[in-house]
A and B are shown apart, each in its own frame.
Chain A
Amino acid sequence: MSKKQKKNLIRIITAAVMLIALHFVPVEGYLRFALYVIPYLIVGYDVLKKAAEGIWHKQPFDEYLLMAIATLGAICLGLFKTGDYVEAIAVMLFYQIGEWFQGYAVGKSRQNIAKLMDIRPDYANIETADGKLEQVDPDDVEVGTIIVVQPGEKVPIDGVVIEGSSTLNTAALTGESLPRDVNENDEIISGSINLSGVLKVRTTKEFGESTVAKILELIEDASSQKSKSEKFITKFAKVYTPIVTLSALALATLPSLVLFAIGKDPLWTEWLYRALIFLVISCPCALVVSVPLSFFAGIGGASRAGVLIKGANYLEILAKTNTLVFDKTGTLTKGNFEVTAIHPEKLDKKELLHLAAHVERYSKHPIANSLRKAYGDEADGCEVDDVKEISGRGIQALVNGKIVCVGNSKMMDDVGAKWHECHRVGTCIHVAIDGEYAGHIVISDIIKEHSEQAISALKKQGIRQMIMLTGDTQKVAENVANALGMDAFYAELLPAGKVQKVEELLKAKKSPVETLAFVGDGINDAPVLSRADIGIAMGAMGSDAAIEAADIVLMDDDPLKIATAMNVAKKCMRIVHQNIIFCITIKVLCLLLGAFGFANMWMAIFADVGVMILAVLNAVRNLWVSQKV
């Protein structure tokens, strides 16, 4: 609770206690008025002041004016007619309780989000000449400085590990709870927490350019991108308040004048009372507060799950998305090659892989890397000599006295081995021993673990069309698209071709309400990301290009996060709509009841304060993001 909140709470309690005490004091007339004015002023002086200031600055139409007129009017009624001041004070009291609660709820969600965004490192350790550690402001650390990160500390600045190994907790950035191992020469990202060993890190960026600073800035800027709903509410409040004030004025005077004109009892006070009730009910704060709070909480909750949303408007668009276009490599597939099948002729599988790995011992080709990785301990006692790389064919080497050729079909033809095609999709590596065909190994890009689950989750969420774009060959694309259950795919596209395809899809949209999202890995997909209605970049941790180009950034490369983002967006929009409909319905209903004399002040207070509290509580639900999809 802030100082101001404490003070206001004391004011509320004092006024409430006095009001109850006065109930037992039997005074009448002006003394009664004077006594009741004290709690009224205690609890309401600031509202009166602000209303007066509003008039002074020629911007009178706000909630303070509504409240000031309503309560002052009720007091006058008490003074000249009924002698009842409790209603006037109660209105002010409950209004202040509502305001207090609203301030408290907003403050709490602010704290909540601040806690989850508590990734800003406070210091960086620099080793001094005598080997001691000195804590400095991360802002002052220059690029290329060597910093020390101890266990339990946050990595303050992006860099490369030059000494030590450890595990890092990246949950604050990615929402991924599995710790990540780091060793020498690995890049590490600011904002993650060092769990086990001491690390020496050479910084590669300034603090301001580091991941953590970028993310914080992005989230701070997020709420300045206002959503359509927020804009609607602002506009709504602008026209609403004057209309309500004028209608109240009309309600206070016109019926009485008409009654007077036709010679009946004008019932002045009755109509004035109705007009005051009308004013209390009409206060628009419930909407004005709960809608931006919903978006704020949604964005905050999403960032905890590793989904950065750059603005409230993107939440709105994402919730309406029904066409998802995916890039393949790096998005749905891992983007690095792995051995997916081994088909020997006579040898056993391990032996075939063993020989192939030996031949590729010195090669730096990605295929060679994946073969060595698949075999594991390639550096055993076997003799590998006479390695010859035959350009456009493959590699030939002498392994334990046998000539082993590893390469493509052309190489097999050259040595006269009788090779055959493989039914598996991917790159086929043939192996021949002393000119005799020994079998082949298939290497391909593999589909990410969660891709299939993500696609089916997204389908359930109402995505109508899922399309895959890739620069890869038709056969590979077809294989991946079928395995994942894509609705369509387009292969062999150059980057420009992808943009063109997305443009075609955008044109083919049936109505402007439908939106198209593009999901890519952010690095080479920047043009497409910005062309789509909404661009989602994944695996963006540490990639500035992706953070810049996309509207929604998934911190790790798990496609399941797309479904999480959809969940957040849909829930947020649902809550916003619930609040708008709930508030307006209750208000209109109570306004009508008030105008026709069926509502009293107490009902009016519920319609104002009660509705606001319920709407705020509903909005705060957005903070909790279900990771389940």
Chain B
Amino acid sequence: MKKSYKIDVDCPVCAGKMETAAKNTAGVKDASVNFMLLKMKVEFDEGADEAAVMTAVRENCKKVESDCEVFF
């Protein structure tokens, strides 16, 4: 399953950090962040719970970049 989420972040480097953080979240198969469109595309592992995984993604992103936001 692949889904696209709106995000908020200030700089391209921070967006890159978010991407790495999202990729390393359990339940995420692959993730890519598009800074210019402020969108994050997440491909979930088979059978992953979207809401739970995205909460973890948001947490991990906040860890690397405190004023970013992931909307889901």
Contacts and interface: CB of A to CB of B under 8 A. Distances in A.
B11 A285 contact: yes
Contacts of B63: 57
Contacts of B37: 110, 220, 223
A59 B32 contact: no
B12 A289 contact: yes
Given A103-B10, A288-B13, A289-B11, A223 B64 contact: no
B24 interface: no
Interface string B1-40: 0001000001111001100000000000000101111110
Contacts of B64: 57, 59
B55 interface: no
B36 A293 contact: yes
Interface in B42-59: none
B13 to A, nearest CB: 6
A293 B35 CA distance: 9
Interface in A100-124: 102-103, 106, 109-110, 113
Nearest to A107: B38
B47 to A, nearest CB: 22
B38 A110 contact: yes
A74 to B, nearest CB: 23
B13 A296 contact: no
A542 to B, nearest CB: 24
B12 A223 contact: no
A110 B38 CA distance: 9
A578 interface: no
B35 A292 contact: yes
A292 B12 contact: yes
A292 B41 contact: no
Contacts of A113: 36
Contacts of A237: 13
Select the residue from B34, B36, B64 with max chain A CB neighbours within 10 A: B36
Interface in A363-400: none
Nearest to B67: A46
* Interface band, chain A: 20 to 34
Contacts of B32: 224
A475 interface: no
A296 B37 CA distance: 9
A234 interface: yes
A220 B4 contact: yes
Nearest to A293: B36
A293 B37 CA distance: 11
Contacts of A99: 10-11
The prevalent SS among residues of A at the interface is helix
A109 B37 CA distance: 10
Contacts of A334: none
Nearest to B33: A224
Interface in A235-261: 237
A220 B12 contact: no
B32 to A, nearest CB: 4
A63 B11 CA distance: 11
B66 A50 contact: yes
Given A50-B66, A53-B66, A57-B64, A223 B13 contact: no
Contacts of B38: 110
A106 B36 contact: yes
Contacts of B41: 220-221, 224
A49 interface: yes
Contact of B36 (A46, A223, A288): A223
Nearest to B35: A292
A62 interface: yes
Contacts of B34: 220, 223-224
Contacts of B35: 223, 292
Interface string A269-302: 0000000000000000100110011001000000
Interface in A209-245: 220-221, 223-224, 234, 237
Contacts of B16: 234
Nearest to A284: B13
B66 A220 contact: no
A288 B12 contact: yes
Nearest to B64: A57
B36 A292 contact: yes
A223 B67 CA distance: 23
A49 B66 contact: yes
Contacts of A289: 11-12
B57 to A, nearest CB: 17
Contacts of A106: 36
A50 B10 CA distance: 12
A389 to B, nearest CB: 54
Interface in A1-47: 4, 46
Contacts of A62: 13
Contacts of A292: 12, 35-36
A110 B32 CA distance: 18
23 contacts: A53-B66, A59-B64, A62-B13, A102-B11, A103-B10, A106-B36, A110-B37, A113-B36, A220-B37, A223-B34, A223-B35, A223-B36, A224-B32, A224-B41, A234-B16, A285-B11, A288-B11, A288-B12, A288-B13, A292-B12, A292-B35, A293-B36, A296-B36
Interface of A: 4, 46, 49-50, 53, 57, 59, 62-63, 99, 102-103, 106, 109-110, 113, 220-221, 223-224, 234, 237, 285, 288-289, 292-293, 296
The 3 residue pairs across chains A and B that have the minimum distance between CB atoms: A296-B36, A224-B32, A223-B34
Given A220-B37, A224-B41, A285-B11, 17 more contacts: A4-B10, A49-B66, A53-B66, A99-B10, A109-B36, A113-B36, A220-B34, A220-B39, A223-B34, A223-B36, A223-B37, A224-B32, A288-B11, A289-B12, A292-B12, A292-B35, A292-B36
